[in-house]
Amino acid sequence: MEVLESSSLNARALTQAIESAIDRFTPWRTARESPRELEVDASRAVEPEARQVALVIKNITERKRTEEALRQSEARAHQAAANAEAERRLLDAVLEAAPVGIIVADANGKLVRMNPANARLWGPAPVSGSVEEYREWKGWWADGSERHGRRLESEEWAMARALRGELVSGDLVELEPFDSPATRRTILNSAAPVRDTAGRILGAVVAQMDITDRVQAETALRRNEERHRLVSRATNDVIWDWDLTTNRLEWNEAVLVHFGCPREALGPTIDGWYSRIHPEDRERVVSSIHAAIDGGQDSWIDEYRFRRNDGSYATFLDRGHIGRDASGKAVRMIGSMLDLTERRHSEAALRESKEHFEALADNISQLAWMTDETGSIFWYNQRWFDYTGTTHEEMKGWGWQKVHHPDHVQRVTERFVRHIATGEVWEDTFPLRSSTGEFRWFLSRAHPIRDGSGQVRRWFGTNTDITAQLEAEEQLKEALRSRDEFLSIASHELRTPLTSLKLQMQLTHRRIQRGDPDAYEPERVSRLVEQSNHQLARLTRLVGDMLDIARIRTGRLGLEPSPVDAVELLREVMERLSPHLTEARTPATLEAPERLEVEWDRFRIEQVVTNLLTNVMRYGNHQPVAVKLRQREGRVLLSVEDQGLGIAKESQERIFNRFERAISASDVSGLGLGLFISRQIVEAHGGRIWVESEGPGRGSAFFVELPVFSDINPLKLGSTEPGTGSRRPSVRA
């Protein structure tokens, strides 16, 4: 019994009990935060007029909660049953509709359920009650491994392995259905264990996909591809396979033979083929193949030029078959390329061979010609006509004899005829007349061209101009002669002062030994010293020239420019050489400004001036010499002009080479090095030196032009070989 907490509730209960004569009111809720359910019984007094009511209140909260929980539990159980039924129906539908065979086994391996697809796969199979009974299943490994073809043991089946806790994926097995002993089907097995919440294995499920058709299709495809490969290898044609959906293009191995490159070099797509079509053919070929594809045609054919890996182009006849799907869409194209290059070459062999050969022959440096088997010439290259100035009509047959030198033509003809008769390679050297009438020397050769049986069908010959080679050989001989002459002259030039010194010393020594008082006479001693100094100076000059030559050849003749008064330099050299000029009866005059500041290597320019004046003393014929110095436009011009022997025109360049003189060494002493050394020094200063003469007996004028401030060449000073002409030397940095 509990008293109501709400006065309003009490009043309402009493009112209802009195006015309605209701004996019981349920339920009532209290106004607490956690409401309670109450059952209230109200009873009036027996007397009707009495206004008294008795209330009995019971707390039924727990009872109500229990009733509500029971109701919800029943509802959940009902819903769970409904859900389970729905899931069962869904599973049944999935199993019925599944395209793969599905088997369910309990923990012992007993097969408890399988779907229709599995029944269709295996046929009416016995319901195996355990893993041991799986031995009744007939299956063989088909995975291509070492176990391929071996029959599966009962514990190797995917179901047995899944019951052991293994997750199986992708077992490839061939099985024999129970209702078709002579038939095998290929299945792809996958299996997984079924576990409870604690991880215990309750069973296993296996999914078996029948891939027999796919395997057979793949096998057929492999066989077709193998046949395709065999055909590709057996044929000489280039085979190509174009997947029009992916644009990928595959080639056979013949591309290595015909294109000169591996298949990979052509690229994976059709673009590699497009790019190698000759630019002049590309647009036409690409348009024609796409017209065939888009126009619903089954085949395509075209001829075009295709670039090989070496850059050359081959002519191909290309045929392709277009494969289409059920809707008519082009999906694949297979074709072959037949190399027509040799055929086209054969068709135009004479024309192409002639054009190619003539283009080659006309661009070689030699004269070339061909004869028939009798030696009669039927073809010349253009260079023959350019050189001889003749025509084919004039030269055909044996007309070539017209341009041979009359002193050689008979000998050459007889020798040529002998070699034509024997078939031996012919070689000879003789002069041929040019279009200008000049005869030049040629080394000539002819080789026989034989057929397959070894018979000579043609002769191919060339004439190589060796005139320059012969001239070079002559120049070499002349250089060797000059060298030998130089050695002889050098030996003589060195021996002469040494002999003089030796004789003077011997004579003086004998006088001293005899006690001749004149041996110590001052005038005699002074004369002896003067003569010795003269001979020593001569030796010094000769040795200096040879040392300078050595320095020039090794690039060690250095220049040391410094401020110099050019006028003072000339006066000093002329003053130093004055006794020698007087002795040579060669009076010298100087015409120059008062002063001329320059930047030269004083010692080397003195050497140049000394060499020029020494030459005047040797070749001036005892005539006056005029030395002039003047400046113009930032350069200085020095001239040494004599009225002596003069120099021939053809020798005016040669005398600046090593070991060269204007006249014979037997007439004038010297090594022939002075002008060569002078040229090297002048050109190293950035200047030039030359000679002008009207010829023998007309005198000579040597000119030296130098910059005021020398343009010193930073390279090493080099030499100019005989016969090569002037070449600017260099100085060592």
Query: How many other CB atoms sit within 10 Å of the CB of residue 270?
Result: 19
Question: What does the pLDDT look like over 249-259, one tens digit per residue?
Answer: 999 888 888 99
DSSP-assigned states of every residue in 550-618: HHHHHT------EEEEHHHHHHHHHHHTHHHHHHTT--EEEE--S--EEEE-HHHHHHHHHHHHHHHHH
pLDDT band at 461 (very low <50, low <70, confident <90, very high): very high
Question: What does the pLDDT look like over 310-321, one tens digit per residue?
Answer: 999 999 999 999
pLDDT band at 420 (very low <50, low <70, confident <90, very high): very high
Is the model's pLDDT at 22 over the cut of 90?
A: no
Q: Distance (Å, rounded) from C-alpha 301 to C-alpha 285?
A: 9
DSSP state of 424: P
CATH number for the domain that contains residue 176: 3.30.450.20
Tell me which residue of 589, 696, 692, 700 sits closest to 643, measured CA to CA: 700
pLDDT band at 49 (very low <50, low <70, confident <90, very high): low
Q: Distance (Å, rounded) from C-alpha 125 to C-alpha 123?
A: 6
Contacts of 26 (CB under 8 A, 6+ apart): 38, 39, 40, 60
Q: Are residues 429 and 442 in the same domain?
A: yes
Is the pLDDT higher at 523 or at 153? Answer: 153
Q: Are residues 191 and 152 in the same domain?
A: yes
How would you classify the pairing of strands 625-632 and 588-591?
parallel
Is the model's pLDDT at 24 over the cut of 60?
A: no
Averaged pLDDT, 409-429: 95
Question: What does the pLDDT look like over 154-193, one tens digit per residue?
Answer: 999 999 999 999 999 989 999 999 888 888 999 999 999 9
pLDDT band at 662 (very low <50, low <70, confident <90, very high): low
Question: What does the pLDDT look like over 187-213, one tens digit per residue?
Answer: 999 999 999 999 999 999 999 999 988
Please report the pLDDT score of residue 512 as a whole number: 83
Please report the pLDDT score of residue 488 as a whole number: 62
Rounded to whole angstroms, what are the CA distances from 167 to 99, 108, 134, 164?
A: 21, 17, 18, 9
pLDDT band at 447 (very low <50, low <70, confident <90, very high): very high
**Environment class of 272 (CB within 10 Å of its CB; exposed 0-12, middle 13-18, buried 19+):** middle
**The one-letter amino acid at 189:** N
Instruction: Please report how many Cα atoms fall inside a 13 Å half-sphere around the Cα of residue 238, on the Cβ side.
Output: 26
Q: Are residues 293 and 386 in the same domain?
A: no
Question: What does the pLDDT look like over 82-140, one tens digit per residue?
Answer: 787 777 777 777 777 778 889 999 999 999 998 998 888 888 877 888 999 989 999 99
Is the model's pLDDT at 590 over the cut of 90?
A: yes
Name the most confidently modeled range: 98-102, 112-116, 143-147, 432-436: 432-436
Q: b or e along 1-25 (b: 16 or more beta carbons within 10 Å of the residue's beta carbon)?
A: eeebeeeebeeebbeebbeeeeeeb
Q: Are residues 366 and 299 in the same domain?
A: no
Residue 369 covered by a domain: yes
Please report the pLDDT score of residue 720 as a whole number: 41
Please give the helix or strand (H or E) that residue 7 lies within, else none. Answer: helix 7-20
Q: Are residues 206 and 254 in the same domain?
A: no
Q: Are residues 241 and 163 in the same domain?
A: no
Q: Are residues 600 and 639 in the same domain?
A: yes
Q: Are residues 682 and 557 in the same domain?
A: yes
Total count of domains within the chain? 5
Residue 33, SS3 per DSSP: coil
Last residue of a domain, one of 142, 176, 210: 210
Q: Are residues 330 and 413 in the same domain?
A: no
Q: Distance (Å, rounded) from C-alpha 611 to C-alpha 636?
A: 18
Residue 522, SS3 per DSSP: helix
Question: What does the pLDDT look like over 343-367, one tens digit per residue?
Answer: 887 777 777 777 777 788 788 889 9
Residue 483 covered by a domain: no
Averaged pLDDT, 282-300: 95
Is the model's pLDDT at 17 over the cut of 60?
A: no
Please report the pLDDT score of residue 553 as a whole number: 60
Last residue of a domain, one of 307, 324, 347: 347
Contact 607, 678 (CB under 8 A): yes
Please report the pLDDT score of residue 1 as a whole number: 40
Contact 721, 674 (CB under 8 A): no
pLDDT band at 695 (very low <50, low <70, confident <90, very high): confident
**Environment class of 300 (CB within 10 Å of its CB; exposed 0-12, middle 13-18, buried 19+):** buried
Averaged pLDDT, 475-503: 68
Q: Distance (Å, rounded) from C-alpha 729 to C-alpha 15?
A: 145
Please report the pLDDT score of residue 167 as a whole number: 95
Contact 588, 617 (CB under 8 A): no
Is the model's pLDDT at 3 over the cut of 50?
A: no
Mean pLDDT over each residue of the chain, to the nearest integer: 83
Please report the pLDDT score of residue 724 as a whole number: 37
Tell me which residue of 422, 433, 421, 418 sits closest to 463, measured CA to CA: 433
Residue 24, SS3 per DSSP: strand
Averaged pLDDT, 36-57: 66
Q: Distance (Å, rounded) from C-alpha 363 to C-alpha 678?
A: 45
Tell me which residue of 173, 175, 192, 177 sits closest to 119, measured CA to CA: 177
Is the pLDDT higher at 287 or at 620? Answer: 287
Residue 75 covered by a domain: no
Residue 493 covered by a domain: no
Residue 124 covered by a domain: yes
Contacts of 509 (CB under 8 A, 6+ apart): none
Residue 355 covered by a domain: yes
Sheet containing 248-251: which strands, arranged edge to edge? 248-251, 238-243, 330-339, 313-324, 299-307
Please give the helix or strand (H or E) that residue 204 lies within, else none. Answer: strand 201-210
DSSP state of 651: G
**The one-letter amino acid at 532:** S
Which percentage of the chain shows pLDDT scores above 90?
44
Contact 719, 729 (CB under 8 A): yes
Positive or negative torsion for Cα 126, 130, 133, 137? positive
Please report the pLDDT score of residue 58 as a whole number: 77
pLDDT band at 659 (very low <50, low <70, confident <90, very high): low
Please report the pLDDT score of residue 663 as a whole number: 56
Q: Are residues 268 and 329 in the same domain?
A: yes
Domain housing 128: 98-210
pLDDT band at 711 (very low <50, low <70, confident <90, very high): low
Is the model's pLDDT at 65 over the cut of 50?
A: yes
pLDDT band at 722 (very low <50, low <70, confident <90, very high): very low
Last residue of a domain, one of 447, 465, 483: 465
Question: What does the pLDDT look like over 497-556, one tens digit per residue?
Answer: 676 677 777 777 777 888 777 767 787 777 777 767 766 766 776 676 666 666 666 566
Rounded to whole angstroms, what are the CA distances from 150 to 52, 142, 166, 180, 478?
A: 101, 8, 21, 20, 96
Contact 701, 641 (CB under 8 A): yes
Contacts of 281 (CB under 8 A, 6+ apart): 304, 305
Residue 524 covered by a domain: no
Is the model's pLDDT at 384 over the cut of 90?
A: yes
pLDDT band at 731 (very low <50, low <70, confident <90, very high): very low
Structure tokens at 575: 């003053």
